[in-house]
Structure formats: structure tokens, C-alpha cells
Amino acid sequence: MPFAPYSAPDQNERAAWRHFFLALLGLSVSFLLALYATALRQAERFQAAAAVACLCLLLAAVVALRTLPYLVRRTALGRWTIRIEYDFTRQGAVYLAIIAVIGVAALNTGNNLLYLMLACLLAGILVSGIVSRLVLSGIELELELPEHLFAGRPAVSRLTLYNRKRLLPSFSISVLDASAGKGQSAPRTPAFSPLLDEPVYLPYVPRASRVTQRVPLRFRRRGRYTPHGLQVSTRFPFSFLRKARQIPVRREVIVLPSVEPTKDFYEILPVISGEMESYFKGRGQDLYAIRDYQASDSARHVHWKATARAQRLKVREFAREDERRVTLAFDPCFDSSRSLSAVQFEKAVNLCACLAWHLHEDRTPTRFVTAGFETPMTAAPDIIYPILERLAVIEPMPADHQGSVLARLGSNPDGFHIIVTGQSQAAVPPSLWACSQIIFMQGL
């Protein structure tokens, strides 16, 4: 039978053994310090004995509060219980200092009243830990987000906290993002941005009941957000400990680019409208121009007032609304010889989103084309959200003329095109110039 190749223990096993040996070393040193304090007391060196006894208690407390809980969570008991993280608050630190002082005084004097006070103070910490664990047990969270989230636009979600305990209510619960609860300072990128900027405080949740609260949200950037999860914490009852329990959020949040009109949009829209009207001129409902009569024109289109003024036949020319078909294209490829900053790319994405929203409001038949994604020609309201979802996650990429968006459009230049590209003018096929409005990202 062949031997299995040796594999080093994983990081979790190494961490467990490291915590075990640290706990063993700490308790051994604490035991030796206790023996040394006893010897100093018998030698009537009371000040030194008090200092050593205080150090002994401090070392034992550090091991009990920092190392032992980690080892307990790795046992069968820890796997069957709720994983609770805790930190001492400022009030808890002061309380521990008082316990240390009274403990040293009790050891030095042997006064039974001091021992009784020490026992009561330690019982307060025990009661605080048990009650706070009961408060966090049986708690479930549900966060309902809006169907569509836009960057920079405020939104409101519904946070529902369920208390599944049949007998006990829960008090003084705070809900915050898991990254904020751990004190992380990761950059606010879409992959690491928190769902909740501020904690949500719920003072009371009845037994076997639920409490719903509206939570404001605002995402500053477009993109796909992967939340760390949510954390419920409490300081109830004495605020000595802050106990927290993490609840994972198993969903991704796609934040669509902003569709609020920008300065670039207001500058480019009249140009695009004029180019479209010029391209789609013909018969229709919107008056495009008044021109001289031709033999093929119908008499019902004669403009009699203009004819009377000019003393010759004039007819009305309309825009062909029934043939207005627009292809909106976003080419994320950029020419390596031309610099393209991240700010310019984001401006281009926002401009394309604003143009798509404008076509959606006008109910213009639209087709959207980008790298690896294409929609059929249909009414813009039917495809507006797939367009925005694609723009939400799009990233710049190096130019590839064989499979680029410009090459695909140039092979079949049907209808009017609005193209946003990061490539140079030389990369645009000649067949697109006559039927397109091309916007270069480097000019934004």
C-alpha cells in the first residue's frame, strides 16, 4: 500500500497548538509567581508579595480571557454552541482593576469580608457573561434590500430582527457591519465596503416576536459588493463586556451606475439628438424641415402658408419615428498608446448609463453592445436594467481588434450608433463614421 505524501498541518491546527502551548506556559508562570508571592509573604516582604500576586492574577486573567475561549471553541462543546466574540469595555477594565486591588488586599490581609467582596465582584462578571449570551441566543436577522440600487442615490432597506426564544426577550441589541465590528480599516472598494455605515440600535425585542426597522443605505460607487456579514452585539446587563455574534449575509449586491444627468451628458445630448434627427429624417409625425415640392411628394404634405410666402410649392418633411433604431455601444477596450485614467473610465460609464436611461424614457428601440454582452433590438424599457447591470461590473481591458466592439459594429452598420470607446480614431471602421456618434473616453 503506497504511503500518502506528507502534508503540513493547516493554519488552523498550527494556531490551535500555538494557543495551547501559550496557555500552558502562562498558567505555569502564574503558578510559579503564586508560590513566589507566598514565600515573600512568609518572609514579611509584603509590598513585593503584593506586586507579585497582582502580576500572577493579571497573567491568569489574560490566559482565561484570551486563550482559553479560543481552545473551547475548537472542542466539541464549542462547535455545538453559538460562537460568541467578546471584548472588555472601558467600564469592564475599571471593574477588573477594582477586582485586582481587592484580590491583592484579600491575599495580604486574609480578611474574610474582602474575600466575600471579591467573590461578589467575580460573580458579577459571570452573571454579565451568562445574561448577554442569553440575549444573543435565538436571534436571526433578515435584511431586505431594494430591487435596484444606484450609486450615489440614497435607498432604504428593512432590517428585521427575529427573537426565536419562547420565554425570554432580548435587550439592548446593536446591529452593525461585521468589518466595522472587528475594527477593520479596509479601503472602501466595492468588494470591501460595509452594508451599514452606522450601527442600528434595538432597545427591546419581545419573546417569540420580531422588530423591523428602516435602515438608510448609500453606496458611493458602482460595482458588485460582497458584504462581510452582519454582527449583533450587546452590552447588557452591566456593560462590562461587549459580546458579539456574527451572522453571515450570503448574497451579492450589484450597485448600478448613477443615471443622474452629468455635465458631459448635457453637453453631448444636443449633438446626439441633432445627428439622430439628421439620420432619421423622412416621413413621420415630428416635423423635420420644410423644403421644395418634388414630383414624388403627396399633396397632403403641402405647407400652404410657406407656399404662399415663397410663391412656390413647399412641403413638410417629417422624422421617421417608426424607423428610429439606435445601437448603444460601450467599448471598454483602450489603446495602450493613449493614457486612460480611472476617472475618465468612470465618467464614460456614467455617461453611457445616462444615455441608456434617456433612451429608456423616450421608449426608443435600442440594442446594447459591449464586450461579451449584447441585447436584441427591442424597446429600451425592456432591457434597461440588464444594460445597467452590465455597466455596473464592467472594467477596462486592452484593445483586441479581432473581437472588439468596434469590429463587430463595423461588420454590420445597420441603424444609428452611439459609441463610447477608449480606442483611437484609427481603430474606428470607416463604415461607422457616417451612421454613428462616437464619444472618446480620453476627451471626457
For the chain, what are the domain ranges?
11-81+90-136, 139-255, 281-322, 324-443
Angle at 429 between CA 423 and CA 435, to 5 degrees: 105
Q: Dihedral (C-alpha) 71, 77, 82, 85: value to the nearest 10 degrees?
A: -20
Q: How far is CA 414 from the centre of its chain?
A: 40
**Torsional sign, CA 214, 218, 222, 223:** negative
The closest of 191, 186, 251 to 222, measured between CA atoms, is 191
Q: How far apart are CA 31 and CA 35, in angstroms?
A: 6
Q: Return the SS3 of 148.
A: coil
Tens of pLDDT along the chain (444 residues) come to 333 333 344 556 677 677 777 878 877 888 888 788 888 878 878 788 878 878 887 787 777 767 766 665 555 444 444 567 777 788 888 888 888 888 878 877 777 888 888 888 888 888 887 888 888 888 888 888 888 889 888 888 888 899 988 888 988 888 887 765 544 444 444 444 567 777 888 899 998 888 988 888 888 888 888 777 788 888 888 888 788 888 777 677 889 999 988 888 888 888 888 777 776 655 455 566 777 888 767 676 787 778 888 888 888 776 554 456 888 999 888 776 667 788 888 999 999 999 999 888 888 889 999 988 888 888 888 899 999 999 999 988 877 655 578 878 877 767 788 889 888 888 888 888 888 888 888 887
The closest of 288, 301, 268 to 419, measured between CA atoms, is 268
**Which stretch of DSSP H or E encloses residue 260?**
none
Is 139-255 a domain of CATH 2.60.40.10? yes
Output the pTM of the full model: 0.64
Beta bridge partners of 328: 368, 418
Long-range contacts of residues 264-270, Cβ cutoff 8 Å, at least 24 apart: 264/347, 264/350, 264/351, 264/444, 265/351, 265/354, 265/355, 265/358, 268/351, 268/439, 269/358
